[in-house]
Structure formats: C-alpha cells, structure tokens
Chain A
C-alpha cells in the first residue's frame, strides 16, 4: 500500500519553544492531508485539513495560531506547534489520500511530542 511518513517519530522540547512535525506521502501526490492528535487510550481527534496551496481548515476548538499547518507541495505537509506547553504533549498523526473518490486514506507512523 501507499506510504505516509512522519518525522520526527519522537521529539522533546522545552515549554515556550516551537516544534515542527513533517508528513510526507512517499509514493503518491496528496492534495489533501489531515492532522490528528491522540491522547493515551483515546481515539484520534481530527485537528485540521491541510490543503495543498491553500490555507488549512481547522476543526472547532483547535487554535490555528498555535497549530500552524503548511502544505507547500503535493508530498509534504508540516504541523508546527508554536509556544508549546506541557498540555500540548500528545501523539500527532497525519494521513493522506490522493483525493479521488474511493481512494484509501493512509496514515503516518505518528509523532510523539513531549513538552517539558
């Protein structure tokens, strides 16, 4: 199946700093990517939809100025957590699809963010 890769898989940062997580579609072009966060033993929560060449659309309750999303190319979307706080510590997962009806959405391996 198609491959979606995230980097880094784990990152620790200090409170107040920013951290960037990359999501790449390795063998297909992704016009749309999605970002999720997941707390331990909980389900995935959709944060935002990343659209290539345009602004991301955020789910209700997600701070767009805190979680900056950039989708500059058809194979790369980035999530930047700005001014991170310990409560931002979570598992962040991206997904991508080719944008056609019936096409499967594939998920990245996830990125653990720990803010200390």
Chain B
C-alpha cells in the first residue's frame, strides 16, 4: 500500500515556480522523505531528500513542517524539460521498501 498521497496532475507555465505537496500522515520516526522525477521510459531520478525543516540543492527545495505529515517540493522557474512525473516516497533508505503512489504529472506549458 502506498504511504503517500499527491495530486494526480498539475499544469504550469515556463518560468513559474511550482510547488507539489505530498501527504504522508503515517510517516515513521526513522523515515526520510525523498522526491524523484521520472521521464517516460526512464528510471526515477533522485531530486532531493530531507528529514525535517528545509533542504535546498541546485535543482529544488524541500519544505517539511514540524509534524512531518506532509512535504512540499518546490521547483523554481520551471522549463519545458521539467515536464515529468514526480514521486514522493517515505522510508528510511535502509532495508525499508519503497511503495510508489500515483505520483504527480507535471505539465509545463510554453
């Protein structure tokens, strides 16, 4: 059973900031939150991972509230090439299995 809930799809325009929220009400103490991007016919690509508060890297930011029951992936100034499916996963990265939810299909328009 998937442990996460995300919007099925989102539309955006080039140059806009996109925020995708994921709900994970049953997150465990040891669980980290990881976001992946998947293009058609490719394996998921790691975007960002965090445990609490805010994490930022060169491509995205991840905001995690204090209760950790949700998280928001923020993509600054999206381009057409950011059109993809984005998955939010929770797990401890150790021997914990990742079950995928539906993901969010982001469609960036010109």
Interface residues of A (CB under 8 A from B): 1, 4, 6, 31-32, 34, 36, 43-46, 49, 91, 93, 95, 97, 99-110, 112
Also in contact, A43 and B103, with CB within 8 A (given A93-B43, A107-B36) = yes
Interface string of B99-110 (1 = CB under 8 A from A): 111110000000
Cβ-neighbour of A34 out of B49, B92, B98, B103 (below 8 A):
B98
Cβ-defined contact, B100 with A46, below 8 A: yes
The residues of B that contact A31 with a CB separation of less than 8 Å are: 95
* Nearest A residue to B44, CB-CB: A107
Interface residues of B, CB < 8 Å — how many? 26
Cβ-defined contact, B93 with A103, below 8 A: yes
The residues of B that contact A34 with a CB separation of less than 8 Å are: 97-98
Cβ-neighbour of A100 out of B87, B91, B94 (below 8 A):
B94
